[in-house]
């Protein structure tokens, strides 16, 4: 019998790739989106997940990816992410759905010293990390004692790909010739290609054990932001970012945020987004490789970046 999955946040950067991967794997995938134009899935349900749910197609698994922008503040993230999680969990419990995957983030660890395994302390330093950890705990509380349930929490590294905000904004700023970067850029980060994130969801369906499980999702070779951005610049044939003292870039970010809000546009370079760029997050992917048989298609940014920039030029 065909496995059915319901994907929340299916109109987002990662969500679209997850739906595509699920359909290619032969799953019956339903995309839950706020706007139907955001998805090309064969089955689409339009609903604002900040509102309670009443009727959805039955599913063997729910992949919960819906959430607000990582650079948002405490109030916006809490209002969006916690409400969305509570609504989908409440509906799922009534529908007796026992299999779940939640897209969490490396930011739950905070400023990582060395390399974080799944047993590392969780000390988030920005709103995005705090709200992801709160939703993790909500899943554990609601499903921890439910017999035969499988809840997989994926703590995902810095995701890149041709359709994502990271590559899109970075490419635009580099081509303009003005790309300020906070600090020295020496902070090390675990990156992961968006297609490998989608693969992690499928590996979870195939191999997850009963109970609540936590896995880091990352490629094999952490990089500094300086190396990552310089690699993009080199492939584009433009100058690398301008690495500036963090306070100066924060001032620029505040001015940029105010200007965009006055034009009713979503801010790009918020203070929280800058904190993302100055927080170390190096992850071990040993557990997901061992237990879920995850093998990244792009083991490092060297391979993944070629694909991301090829896709970007094709899309534009």
Number of domains in the chain: 1
In a domain, residue 81? The reply is yes
CA geometry: angle 123, 126, 128, nearest 5 deg: 100
Q: How many CB atoms lie within 10 A of CB 169?
A: 14
In a domain, residue 146? The reply is yes
90 lies in which domain range? 4-157+192-217+283-298
Which tens digits make up the pLDDT trace of 148-187? 999 999 999 999 998 898 999 899 999 999 888 888 999 9
Distance, in Å, from the CA atom of 302 to the CA atom of 16, rounded to the nearest integer, reads: 24
Which tens digits make up the pLDDT trace of 202-245? 999 999 999 999 999 999 999 999 999 999 999 999 999 999 88
Q: How far apart, in Å, are the Cα atoms of 271 and each of 68, 128, 155, 251, 292?
A: 16, 12, 22, 9, 36
Which tens digits make up the pLDDT trace of 264-316? 777 667 777 788 888 999 999 999 999 999 999 999 999 999 889 986 654 43
Which tens digits make up the pLDDT trace of 34-64? 887 777 788 999 999 999 998 888 899 999 9
Instruction: Give the pLDDT of residue 315.
Output: 44
Interacting residues of 176 by C-beta distance below 8 A, sequence separation 6+: none
Q: Left (φ > 0), alpha (ψ -120 to 50) or beta: where does 311 sit? A: alpha
In a domain, residue 30? The reply is yes
Pairing between β-strand 188-189 and β-strand 223-224 as defined by DSSP bridges:
antiparallel
In a domain, residue 312? The reply is no
Q: Which of 50, 53, 45, 51 is nearest to 67 (CA)?
A: 50
In a domain, residue 222? The reply is no
Q: How many CB atoms lie within 10 A of CB 205?
A: 20
């Amino acid at each position: 019998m065909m496995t059915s999955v319901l994907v929340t946040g299916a109109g987002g950067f990662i969500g679209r790739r997850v739906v595509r991967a699920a359909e290619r794997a032969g799953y019956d995938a339903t995309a839950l989106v706020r706007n139907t134009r955001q998805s090309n899935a064969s089955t689409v349900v339009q609903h604002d997940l900040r509102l309670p749910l009443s009727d959805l197609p039955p599913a063997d698994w729910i992949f919960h990816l819906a959430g607000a922008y990582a650079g948002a503040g405490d109030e916006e993230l809490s209002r969006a992410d916690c409400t969305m999680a509570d609504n989908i969990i409440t509906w799922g419990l009534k529908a007796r759905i026992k299999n779940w995957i939640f897209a969490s983030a490396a930011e739950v660890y905070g400023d990582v010293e060395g390399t974080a395994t799944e047993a590392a302390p969780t000390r988030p330093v920005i709103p995005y990390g705090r709200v992801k950890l709160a939703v993790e705990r909500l899943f554990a509380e609601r499903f921890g004692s439910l017999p035969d349930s499988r809840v997989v929490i994926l703590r995902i590294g810095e995701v890149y790909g041709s359709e994502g905000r990271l590559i899109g904004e970075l490419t635009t700023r580099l081509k303009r010739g003005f790309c300020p970067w906070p600090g020295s850029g020496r902070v090390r980060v675990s990156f992961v290609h968006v297609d490998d994130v989608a693969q992690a969801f499928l590996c979870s369906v195939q191999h997850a054990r009963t109970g609540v499980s936590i896995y880091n999702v990352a490629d094999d070779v952490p990089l500094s932001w300086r190396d990552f951005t310089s690699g993009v610049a080199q492939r584009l044939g433009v100058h690398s970012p301008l690495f500036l003292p963090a306070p100066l870039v924060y001032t620029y970010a505040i001015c940029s945020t105010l200007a965009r809000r006055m034009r009713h546009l979503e801010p790009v370079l918020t203070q929280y987004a800058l904190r993302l760029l100055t927080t170390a997050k190096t992850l071990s992917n040993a557990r997901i490789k061992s237990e879920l048989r995850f093998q990244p298609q792009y083991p490092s940014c060297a391979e993944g970046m070629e694909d991301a920039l090829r896709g970007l030029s094709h899309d534009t």
